[in-house]
Structure 1
Amino acid sequence: MTQKKRFLLRLDNKLYEILEKWSADELRSVNAQIEYLLTEAARKQGRWKEDKQQKVVDEQKTETEDA
């Protein structure tokens, strides 16, 4: 497993409450939800480069979560 970078993130209380509800709706922790949202934003902007095999695995994982 890849080592993850730790850092302090300060958020507005209202934004945190929104993230907390959103993450609960998707059965994720707030931390996992923030990481998911940032990863998706990076992909949409073309800044997240990954090999084709990893993309297939991620798409399958997303499809399973949506079902």
Structure 2
Amino acid sequence: MAAPKKKAFALRLDPAVHAAIERLAAAELRSANAEIEMLLREALSSRGITVQHTKKPKRGRPPNSSD
């Protein structure tokens, strides 16, 4: 089972905003992309909008199919 695809799109940011996000991400041991996603989720949550996390695929070998 392949991992769920993430939506990719271009995002234009002010360089100062991007630098601030990179500093925050480094302090929290995240990538800038993951930090932006966390900030967006927090902003949505503060407005009363909950977004479910996509289920991750199960790890390990698939079960044997004994017919």
TM-score by length of 2: 0.67
Structure-2 residue corresponding to 1:46? 48
**Structure 1 residues 49 and 21, CA, compared in 2 at 3 Å: closer, same or farther?**
closer
Aligned to 1:7: 9
Q: Structure 1's 47 and 12: CA in aligned 2 closer, same or farther, altered over 3 A?
A: same
In 2: Cα distance, 1:19 partner to 1:2 partner: 25
Distance (whole Å) between structure 1 residues aligned to residue 22 and residue 36 of structure 2: 10
Larger radius of gyration: 2
**Equivalent residues of 2:41, 2:51 under 8 A apart:** no
Q: Give the structure, 1 or 2, with the largest relative contact order (CA under 8 Å, sep 6 or more).
A: 2
Question: Gaps spanning 5+ residues in structure 1: where?
Answer: 55-67
Whole-angstrom CA distance in 2 between matches of 1:20 and 1:49: 24
How many residue pairs match? The answer is: 51
Q: Which runs of 4+ in 1 moved over 6 A?
A: none
* TM-score, normalisation: structure 1: 0.67
